Amino acid sequence: MRRMEAGYDLNIEQRQWVSPSLIEANYILSLSRQELEVVINQELDSNPALEVSDEA
């Protein structure tokens, strides 16, 4: 005689992850004005494709 079994399995999982761009955004938002100016100038010096626009 065969025995039949039925069943189900329900698994609910919640995950959180932080993207690299979110980490960078949080870092930038945490900087003071002076620190932000230093970081911007470092990026301008290290990346020739960036330039400052004087438009206000």
Tens of pLDDT along 1-56?
778 888 888 899 999 999 999 999 999 999 999 999 999 999 999 999 999 998 86
**Residue 8 lies inside a defined structural domain of this protein:** no
**Residue 23 lies inside a defined structural domain of this protein:** yes
Residue 40 has what pLDDT? 95
User: Rounded to an integer, what distance in angstroms lies between the CA atom of residue 48 and that of residue 27?
Assistant: 23
**Residue 25 lies inside a defined structural domain of this protein:** yes
Residue 34 has what pLDDT? 98
**Residue 27 lies inside a defined structural domain of this protein:** yes
Name the pTM for this structure.
0.60
**Residue 33 lies inside a defined structural domain of this protein:** yes
**Residue 2 lies inside a defined structural domain of this protein:** no
**Residue 29 lies inside a defined structural domain of this protein:** yes
Q: How many domains does the chain divide into?
A: 1
Residue 2 has what pLDDT? 78
Question: Which structural domain, as residue segments, surrounds residue 34?
Answer: 18-49
**Residue 30 lies inside a defined structural domain of this protein:** yes
